[in-house]
């Protein structure tokens, strides 16, 4: 499946996703039907090896695809972001593991990167025990990557979704349909082939015994891949908010003013123009970030490029948030009603922009600190 087809199919999903968004929010998860549609569109395998029917899409195209999905439902886009990124991550494990997860051409894998569990050695592998909150898209997953400590070092372990217990504890004001509930593992056996060192992956060191071990695409630094892949959802959420605002605009008045046609008011022109420029600027920063992975200066991104790429994504997220805030402020008090789509976009972008890897001030401070010659305060670059 070529990239144009993936883009076209993602765009074709938008009307369906818009209809499903309020239902998904009420259910606090993306439906099985929606996951099936994402899989049929090729979204979940867009960055997996061609050997398994994947496309190995460049990162700019990935972000455009995820932005299209976010136009319809940011929560669904975020679930697709997690699943596509984790499928790429699974592509760095040994071939036997790749065969298990992607052999049927339909990889559905979620995960939690925070190493808050424990791995204990046993015959043939390890026993995994722990409790991991925020397992986004876990409801639609067949496999889950969970990070844990082994001999004092963080590792990531892949387990079958049915091996862990899923709690019903996801209740959120934004990104409510992501189903980001807690999963619990109690001495779950994980074969050695499904465990890799997390610090190694962050620095682009993966399993050597795999068919794609010499392919640059599957040897990129993990944290940069995760950060850049995440850039499509906030950008798309802002695009969706603009769509929602403009569709509601005809026939609206500005209450307690002389303007019986909001679309004719100069203040509206200013608000829409500012929001449009913020969205275009957000898109430009996403594309600058994707270039670091799609065309690194020396074949492998330097630390400077990695830090800058993550900062482009965090800054883009801040721009997208300001665009949505501007449009929401122009929507009037009636827009707080649950049946008005822009209120959902506004709540979703507020939640997403507070995600640790998306936070604007954190990213900007990190880049400034790096430029001033000081050490980084995070390993996730």
Q: In this predicted structure, what is the pLDDT of residue 296?
A: 81
Query: Per the structure block, which two tokens stand in for 91?
Result: 């592509």
Neighbours of 275 (CB within 10 A): 24
Tell me the per-residue pLDDT of 136-158, one tens digit each, with 9 for 90 and over. 999 999 999 999 999 999 999 99
Residues 6+ apart with CB under 8 A from 256: none
Q: Which of 308, 231, 202 is nearest to 60 (CA)?
A: 231
Band (pLDDT 50/70/90 cuts) for residue 4 is low
Q: Which of 280, 309, 73, 270 is nearest to 178 (CA)?
A: 73
Q: Which domains can be identified in the chain, with CATH numbers?
A: 3-102 (1.10.540.10), 109-196 (2.40.110.10), 222-371 (1.20.140.10)
Q: In this predicted structure, what is the pLDDT of residue 375?
A: 92
0.85 cut: is pTM over it? yes
Distance CA 15, CA 13 (A): 6
Mean pLDDT, to the nearest integer, of 182-207?
A: 97
Strand order in the sheet with 165-166: 165-166, 181-191, 125-135, 109-122, 143-150, 153-160, 195-197
Tell me the per-residue pLDDT of 47-76, one tens digit each, with 9 for 90 and over. 999 999 999 999 999 999 999 999 999 999
Q: In the chain, pLDDT over 90 holds for what percent of residues?
A: 96
Q: Are 17 and 72 in contact (CB under 8 A)?
A: yes
Tell me the per-residue pLDDT of 211-225, one tens digit each, with 9 for 90 and over. 999 999 999 999 999
pLDDT at residue 3 is higher than 80: no
Mean pLDDT, to the nearest integer, of 20-34?
A: 99
Band (pLDDT 50/70/90 cuts) for residue 5 is confident
Tell me the per-residue pLDDT of 237-286, one tens digit each, with 9 for 90 and over. 999 999 999 999 999 999 999 999 999 999 999 999 999 999 999 999 99
pLDDT at residue 1 is higher than 60: no
Tell me the per-residue pLDDT of 287-337, one tens digit each, with 9 for 90 and over. 999 999 999 877 889 999 999 999 999 999 999 999 999 999 999 999 999
Q: In this predicted structure, what is the pLDDT of residue 193?
A: 98
Q: Give one DSSP letter per residue of 268-310, joined into a string.
A: HHHHHHHHHHHHHHHHHHHHHHHHHHHS-TTSS--HHHHHHHH
Q: Are 143 and 108 in contact (CB under 8 A)?
A: yes
Q: Which of 123, 12, 76, 87 is nearest to 232 (CA)?
A: 76
Tell me the per-residue pLDDT of 155-175, one tens digit each, with 9 for 90 and over. 999 999 999 999 999 999 999
pLDDT at residue 9 is higher than 90: yes
Residues 6+ apart with CB under 8 A from 120: 126, 127, 129, 187
Mean pLDDT, rounded, of the chain: 97
Q: Which residues pair with 119 in a beta bridge?
A: 128
User: What ranges make up the beta strands (E) of the chain?
Assistant: 109-122, 125-135, 143-150, 153-160, 165-166, 181-191, 195-197
């Amino acid at each position: 499946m070529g990239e144009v087809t993936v883009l076209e199919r993602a765009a074709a999903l938008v009307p369906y996703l818009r209809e499903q968004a309020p239902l998904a929010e009420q259910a606090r998860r993306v439906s099985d039907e929606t996951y099936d549609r994402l899989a049929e569109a090729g979204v979940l395998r867009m960055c997996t090896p061609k050997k398994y029917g994947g496309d190995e899409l460049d990162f700019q195209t990935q972000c455009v695809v995820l932005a299209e999905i976010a136009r319809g439902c940011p929560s669904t886009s975020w679930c697709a972001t997690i699943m596509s990124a984790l499928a790429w991550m699974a592509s760095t494990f040994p071939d036997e593991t790749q065969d298990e997860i992607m052999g049927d051409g339909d990889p559905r894998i979620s995960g939690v990167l925070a190493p808050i569990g424990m791995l204990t050695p046993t015959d043939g592998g390890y026993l995994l025990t722990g409790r991991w909150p925020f397992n986004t898209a876990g409801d639609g997953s067949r496999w889950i990557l969970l990070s844990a400590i082994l001999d004092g070092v963080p590792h990531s372990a892949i387990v079958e979704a049915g091996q862990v217990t899923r709690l019903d504890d996801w209740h959120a004001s934004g990104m409510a349909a992501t189903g980001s509930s807690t999963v619990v593992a109690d001495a779950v056996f994980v074969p050695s082939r499904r465990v890799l060192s997390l610090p190694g992956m962050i620095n682009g060191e993966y399993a050597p015994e795999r068919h794609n071990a010499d392919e640059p695409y599957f040897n990129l630094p993990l944290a940069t891949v995760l950060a850049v892949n995440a850039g499509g959802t906030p950008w798309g959420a802002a695009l969706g908010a603009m769509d929602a605002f403009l569709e509601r605009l005809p026939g609206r008045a500005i209450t307690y003013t002389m303007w019986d046609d909001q679309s004719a008011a100069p203040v509206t022109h200013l608000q829409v123009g500012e929001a449009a420029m913020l969205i275009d600027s957000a898109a430009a920063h996403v594309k600058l970030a994707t270039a670091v992975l799609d065309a690194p200066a020396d074949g492998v991104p330097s630390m400077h490029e990695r830090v800058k790429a993550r900062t482009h994504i965090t800054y883009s997220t801040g721009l997208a948030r300001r665009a949505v805030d501007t449009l929401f402020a122009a929507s009037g008090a009636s827009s707080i009603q649950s049946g008005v789509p822009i209120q959902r976009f506004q709540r979703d972008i507020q939640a997403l922009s507070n995600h640790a890897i998306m936070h604007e001030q954190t990213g900007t401070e990190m880049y400034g600190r790096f430029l001033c010659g000081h050490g980084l305060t995070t390993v996730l670059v």
